[in-house]
Amino acid sequence: MSNKIITRNPFSGEVLKEYALFNDEEIKSILHTSDNVFNEWKKKPLKNRVKLLNKLADILHDQKVKYANLISQEMGKPYKESISEIEKCISLIEFYEKNAEMFLADELIKTDARESFISYDPLGCILAIMPWNYPFWQVMRFAVPTITAGNTVLLKHANNVTGCALVIQDLFKEAGYPKGCFQNVLATHEQVEEIITNDLVKAVSLTGSEKAGRAIAKVAGNSLKKTVLELGGNNACIIWNDADLDKYLQVIVKARFQNAGQSCIAAKRFIVEDEIYDLFLEKFKKALKNIKIGDPLHSETELATLARIDLAEGVEHQVTESIKKGARVVVGNKRDKAFFEPTILTDVTPGMPVFDEEVFGPVAAIIRAKDKEHSIQLASESNYGLGTMLFTENIDKAKKEITKIEDGAFFINEMVKSDPRLPFGGTKASGYGRELSKEGILEFVNKKTVYIK
């Protein structure tokens, strides 16, 4: 096993940088630092911890272009989207700057005691294992509320975005956080397992695949440590006959093709009611032709490359296997190294990989539904439970479907998207726990009952 990480620009194939993995001694020292810093950090008045958020947002704002370039170089996201990712991090920080004190204040509960309340105490050092697809956003949405609540953070980021990981660590330091409040670990899988079981680590947050979720939950569960798991998704995008396609088509296209389709909450299965099927397909095909494909570093590019060649090969395999089972290619389906052409597949049915599995790339699977009831039934036919979106002008009817959808989110006339103000997370194989909003900041605290007779 190599003891170094090599990052590569997936568009050009050029090597960007080499990093040495940490040895066991270095990791031990990082864990102790995290614990020592926690013991001081937790004593700081909440107001002081919140004050640092302002500086964090300022630096992100000032360095936006530099950070966006780094994202685009390391994982191939179109530059415009990388800029939006940094801006979203700023809005997250501003949200917690405004609300953290309210969320973490003691919560009085009237009982027969003289005084009874819930006190939200930090837990200690929390390990985050994060993916490459939104290399700043995924980290910040975990780290900002978790550190503000008084914890310290260790980050095991995806290897291909190690540059982003290091820059985020510097960002916290520069904003005035105590050195060691946020630390990276460049570690192997075996070392990560040891970190999880180490007594100094109190809980784990993972955003990643279902497979990784099962593995991490097993190790953490064995040590009786809490996990928050934000795993894959296979979101349905239901189009009813009365959908306003002129108004929402661009949103529907973005729901699948932003970030080259590499998003857990992307629309993956388009379940279209019979009567509107042909019209939808025609408009969808046309819209796809207008997507500007190119170098991720060009400001006009809307779709570039996938983050690694093996990922594009995986998508190609899922598509090929689905075609063998009867799916039909309407547009696309060509791969060149890490690039995979935006693709539309029709005649998709349950039992094909593009229906049953998460496809992490620019592939839209189109499924015909007999009627509304059938569309909801097909949407629910998934092991995943991250989100469903429904496009219709009949809001009253759509609202009747809310309780039938078992997912963590149900969006009507909008793509499933995260928002700092709203909880984010899944059900079933999409994981458990919530990020963002008040729910997110209360995931890694001890909700202590205080009772004074």
Residue 429 binds ligand LJUCG4UG, judged by CB under 6 A: no
Number of other CB atoms surrounding residue 294 within 10 Å: 14
Give rounded-to-5 percent helix, strand, coil for the chain.
45, 25, 35
Per the CB < 8 A criterion, the answer to whether 424 and 436 are in contact is yes
Q: Which is nearer to ligand LJUCG4UG, 171 or 265 (CB)?
A: 265
Q: Which is nearer to ligand LJUCG4UG, 97 or 435 (CB)?
A: 435
Residue 133 binds ligand LJUCG4UG, judged by CB under 6 A: yes
Q: Which is nearer to ligand LJUCG4UG, 307 or 365 (CB)?
A: 307
230 part of the active site: yes
Q: Which is nearer to ligand LJUCG4UG, 138 or 392 (CB)?
A: 138
Q: Which is nearer to ligand LJUCG4UG, 263 or 388 (CB)?
A: 263
Residue 134 binds ligand LJUCG4UG, judged by CB under 6 A: yes
- Burial letters 64-100, b for 16+ CB under 10 A, else e: beebbebbbbbbbbbbbbbbebbebbbebbebbbebb
- Taking the C-alpha atoms of residue 144 and residue 96, their distance in angstroms, rounded to an integer, is 8
- Rounded to 5 degrees, φ, ψ at 336 are -135, 105
Which of these, 367, 392, 157, lies nearest to 270 by C-alpha position?
A: 367
Which two three-digit tokens encode residue 385?
């439970």
Shortest spacing between CB 39 and ligand LJUCG4UG, in angstroms: 32
Shortest spacing between CB 394 and ligand LJUCG4UG, in angstroms: 27
The residues, any chain, with a CB within 8 Å of residue 414's CB and separated by 6 or more, are 251, 389
Which of these, 231, 249, 228, lies nearest to 239 by C-alpha position?
A: 249
Q: Which is nearer to ligand LJUCG4UG, 52 or 252 (CB)?
A: 252
Shortest spacing between CB 133 and ligand LJUCG4UG, in angstroms: 5
Q: Name which position in 21, 417, 426, 430 contacts ligand LJUCG4UG (CB under 6 A).
A: 417
- Taking the C-alpha atoms of residue 396 and residue 2, their distance in angstroms, rounded to an integer, is 58
Helices marked H in 230-370:
245-257, 277-289, 309-324, 353-356
Shortest spacing between CB 329 and ligand LJUCG4UG, in angstroms: 26
- Taking the C-alpha atoms of residue 257 and residue 272, their distance in angstroms, rounded to an integer, is 18
Residues 260-319 that bind ligand LJUCG4UG (CB under 6 A): 263-265
Shortest spacing between CB 54 and ligand LJUCG4UG, in angstroms: 23
Shortest spacing between CB 262 and ligand LJUCG4UG, in angstroms: 7
Helices marked H in 175-298:
189-197, 210-222, 245-257, 277-289
Shortest spacing between CB 134 and ligand LJUCG4UG, in angstroms: 5
Which DSSP letter does residue 21 get?
A: P
Which of these, 192, 159, 155, lies nearest to 170 by C-alpha position?
A: 155
Among 85, 97, 230, 435, the one annotated catalytic? 230
DSSP line for 40-89: HHTTS-HHHHHHHHHHHHHHHHHTHHHHHHHHHHHH---HHHHHHHHHHH
Q: Name which position in 33, 418, 430, 437 contacts ligand LJUCG4UG (CB under 6 A).
A: 418
Q: Which is nearer to ligand LJUCG4UG, 35 or 358 (CB)?
A: 358
- Taking the C-alpha atoms of residue 240 and residue 248, their distance in angstroms, rounded to an integer, is 12
- Rounded to 5 degrees, φ, ψ at 115 are -150, 130
The contact mask relative to ligand LJUCG4UG for 240-269 (x = CB under 6 A, - = no) is: -----------------------xxx----
Q: Which is nearer to ligand LJUCG4UG, 168 or 265 (CB)?
A: 265
Task: Provide Rg for the chain, Cα atoms.
Answer: 23
Total number of residues that touch ligand LJUCG4UG (CB under 6 A) = 7
Shortest spacing between CB 207 and ligand LJUCG4UG, in angstroms: 7
Which residues are part of the catalytic machinery?
Answer: 230
Interacting residues toward ligand LJUCG4UG by CB under 6 A: 133-134, 263-265, 417-418
